Amino acid sequence: MTAVLQVDGLTKHFAKDDTAVVALRDFSLDIAEGSFVTVLGRSGCGKSTMLNLLAGLAEPTTGTVRYRDHPLTGPHTEIGYLTQSDTLMPWRDVQRNVEMPLEISGIAAKERRARAAELIRRVGLAGFEKHYPRELSGGMRRRASLARMLAGTPSTLLMDEPFGALDAQLRTELQAELLRLWQGSGQTVVFVTHDIEEALLLGDRVVVLGRIGRIVLDRAIELPRPREIDELRVDPAFVGMHGELARALKGEAP
Ligand SMILES: Nc1ncnc2c1ncn2[C@@H]1O[C@H](COP(=O)(O)OP(=O)(O)O)[C@@H](O)[C@H]1O
Ligand SMILES: [Mg+2]
């Protein structure tokens, strides 16, 4: 296996009123090139902390992250990060938000516009190009953020509960779109979720986190693709894994 990301012994402390809050302790994980890894865990178990470290946005207290065999010391142009909270630029409309990564890499205006328009269409925002983030619903902002991340054509995608706040219908649509975009792309995805079904629907592999990022389960998801959630729900293999993941999470009840 070629590991794109090699995470070794990551610990992260935050200072809080003179005491250290341990958000993540001794976390190690290798992510194989081209794989879709879902990371499942309850709220507060350190998922976002872990992803910030993988994105090079935060510095570990101890431990290392290596990206393609080099130490990661800051954000990397090949790594796209869809954070849990919105980071759209309020003064830019949807079109210009999505164009941003293309602007940064110096793509000419005409090509930039065409590529952004295509991505905006794929996430179902056609017609909203001229809208500003404040004029969009939460779900629409998520979709715009997704399009913006994809515009940078990252080879590694880090996604932090990207569809958590969406209505069920939209979530299903975007999950399907994400899988269409990923399949055959060779991209590596680390997708954080607290939803068992989502973890099983999307991933090749699921890593279940307990408190302070302890890995309580790490297993392959051998379900054939393409996957349909309605079919999976009656598939014995899926049902079995669902139970296994639920038990792993439950063992970690606060
Ligand atoms: N910037 C911060 N300062 C202090 N504590 C933090 C900070 N970020 C996260 N934490 C704490 O670290 C723990 C893990 O948080 P987080 O990584 O956001 O969990 P998750 O994403 O799994 O919900 C929580 O106890 C949280 O309160
Ligand atoms: Mg989080």
Q: Model confidence over 24-56: pLDDT tens digits?
A: 999 999 999 999 999 999 999 999 999 999 999
| 210: nearest Cα among 26, 46, 8 | 46
CA of 43 to the centre of ligand 1 (A): 9
Within-domain flag for 15: no
Within-domain flag for 21: no
Label each residue of 49-66 as H, E or C: HHHHHHCCCCCCCEEEEE
Within-domain flag for 53: yes
Do 49 and 93 have their domain in common? no
Question: Which domain-ending residue is among 153, 172, 207?
Answer: 153
Do 42 and 96 have their domain in common? no
What confidence tier does 86 reach under pLDDT thresholds 50, 70, 90? confident
Q: Model confidence over 208-218: pLDDT tens digits?
A: 999 999 999 99
Average pLDDT value for residue range 238-250: 96
Instruction: Specify the pLDDT at position 140.
Output: 92
Within-domain flag for 25: no
CA of 189 to the centre of ligand 2 (A): 17
What percent of the chain lies above the pLDDT cut of 90? 84
Say if ligand 1 is within 6 A of residue 47 CB: yes
Question: Which domain-ending residue is among 105, 133, 153?
Answer: 153
CATH number of residue 226's parent domain: 3.40.50.300
What confidence tier does 167 reach under pLDDT thresholds 50, 70, 90? confident
Question: Which domain-ending residue is among 153, 185, 202?
Answer: 153
Average pLDDT value for residue range 220-242: 95
Instruction: Specify the pLDDT at position 17.
Output: 87
Average pLDDT value for residue range 111-115: 96
Instruction: Specify the pLDDT at position 253.
Output: 59
Do 149 and 183 have their domain in common? no
Mean pLDDT of the chain: 94
Do 48 and 166 have their domain in common? yes
Do 191 and 252 have their domain in common? yes
Do 200 and 121 have their domain in common? no
| 145: nearest Cα among 164, 50, 204 | 164
Within-domain flag for 173: yes
CA of 176 to the centre of ligand 1 (A): 30
Do 121 and 194 have their domain in common? no
Instruction: Specify the pLDDT at position 254.
Output: 52
Within-domain flag for 239: yes
Average pLDDT value for residue range 116-126: 94
Q: Is 91 exposed, middle or buried (CB count within 10 Å of its CB: 0-12, 13-18, 19+)?
A: exposed
pTM of the model: 0.95
Q: Is 59 exposed, middle or buried (CB count within 10 Å of its CB: 0-12, 13-18, 19+)?
A: exposed
Nearest CA to ligand 1 atom 10: 23
| Counted domains in the chain | 2
Do 184 and 250 have their domain in common? yes
Q: Which domain holds residue 126?
A: 85-153
Instruction: Specify the pLDDT at position 43.
Output: 94
Query: What is the Cα–Cα distance from 80 to 185, expressed in whole angstroms?
Result: 14
Do 226 and 243 have their domain in common? yes
Do 147 and 192 have their domain in common? no
Do 168 and 254 have their domain in common? yes
Q: Model confidence over 185-210: pLDDT tens digits?
A: 999 999 999 999 999 999 999 999 99
Do 91 and 143 have their domain in common? yes
What confidence tier does 139 reach under pLDDT thresholds 50, 70, 90? confident
